Amino acid sequence: MLTCKEQVARSSDYLDGQLSFRQTLRVRHHLMFCANCRRFISQLRLIQATLRTMKSDTAAADPSFAERLATRRRREL
């Protein structure tokens, strides 16, 4: 079974579908037993979805954009 550190290192490739079948199975096996890594993958998926929906010029047009996002996230926790 993968360690959490190994899982995190493979997370982006896993979400992008760039792992081999065997590597994907190892990642999924780890995720079945590790709630923290499942939460991490969920957060990465949310970040990817958010970035896909954003217009590329949104952050450049408003310098405080990143700070507002961070403040909103802190309030949600």
- Written as one letter, the residue type at 22 is R
What pLDDT was estimated at residue 51?
Answer: 79
Look at 75 and 30; give whichever has higher pLDDT: 30
Token code pair at residue 29: 């096996």
What pLDDT was estimated at residue 54?
Answer: 73
> For residue 44, what are the domain limits?
4-76
Token code pair at residue 72: 């909103």
Give the pLDDT confidence of 15-74 residue by residue, as tens digits.
Answer: 999 999 999 999 999 999 999 999 999 999 998 888 777 766 555 567 777 788 788 877
Q: How far is CA 41 from CA 9, 23, 33, 70, 73, in A?
A: 11, 16, 13, 19, 17
Whole-model pTM: value is: 0.68
What pLDDT was estimated at residue 22?
Answer: 97
Domains identified in the chain, total number: 1
